[in-house]
Amino acid sequence: MHKLTLTYFDFPGGRGETARLAMVLGGIEFEDYRFPFEQFGKVREQTPLKQVPTLNVDGRQVTQNNAINRFVGKMAGLYPEDDYQALLCDEIMDAIETVTHKIVDTFGLEGEKQKLAREALVKGPLTQYLEWTQARLEEQGGEYFVENRLTLADLKTFVWIRSLNSGHLDHVPSSLVEDIAPKLNAHMQRVAQTPAISEYYSR
């Protein structure tokens, strides 16, 4: 049994939330070290790449959220053992990571520049990745992304879709998912109703 501490911002989303959910679902004991945004400057100085999330495993700090997701996902039984199914699970997680980078690229922009960049994002990559992700889900029967069961791919998509629906990104309509990929919204709601997940968010 490893001693685990996950370090990430104190909000229910972003690059740290999939690992939190996986550990909660898997009943894996961990310290959930959450810090307010104002403390990021101080926290990042203690991390290897000045970024979060990190997972401290028995005293060693590890970076890269999808690597962390896979590590805890394997322990939680939420990552396929079959290599091909694992590939399909990774594909979804890495695609969401790619589109997340595109969104983050617009964070530093302001005013008209940000508006234009976000509108281009909505028309381009966000629409493309939402349509593609929905198509992947439909190919697998519409319930789950791989193995007809809940895996990391579902958790990572759940976190992404919740974030797009939240309306916190200016110039990205909160109706975007419903307009472009309503089946991902239905999937998000199904995952939210998983008893351990609804219990976690009601805390």
Ligand X SMILES: N[C@@H](CCC(=O)N[C@@H](CS)C(=O)NCC(=O)O)C(=O)O
- CB nearer ligand X, residue 52 or residue 76: 52
Query: Which amino acid, residue 8?
Result: Y
Give dist(CA 24, CA 166) in Å, integer: 23
Rounded to a whole number of angstroms, the minimum distance from the CB of residue 66 to ligand X is 6
Backbone Cα Rg of the chain:
17
Q: Which two tokens stand for residue 58?
A: 């028995």
- CB nearer ligand X, residue 56 or residue 134: 56
- For ligand X, the binding residues (CB under 6 A) are 14-15, 50-53, 63-66
- CB nearer ligand X, residue 20 or residue 185: 20
- CB nearer ligand X, residue 144 or residue 162: 162
Residue 97 burial (C-beta neighbours within 10 Å; 0-12, 13-18, 19+): middle
Q: Which residue's CB comes closest to ligand X?
A: 51
Query: Which amino acid, residue 25?
Result: L
In sequence order, the 6+-apart residues with CB closer than 8 A to the CB of 120 are none
Residue 9 pairs with which residues in a beta bridge? Answer: 35
- CB nearer ligand X, residue 52 or residue 155: 52
Give dist(CA 85, CA 151) in Å, integer: 10
Q: Which two tokens stand for residue 198?
A: 């609804």
Rounded to a whole number of angstroms, the minimum distance from the CB of residue 67 to ligand X is 8
Q: 3-class secondary structure for 90-145? A: HHHHHHHHHHHHHHHCCCCCCHHHHHHHHHHHHHHHHHHHHHHHHHHHHHCCCCCC
- CB nearer ligand X, residue 65 or residue 133: 65
Rounded to a whole number of angstroms, the minimum distance from the CB of residue 79 to ligand X is 16
Rounded to a whole number of angstroms, the minimum distance from the CB of residue 50 to ligand X is 6
Rounded to a whole number of angstroms, the minimum distance from the CB of residue 187 to ligand X is 23
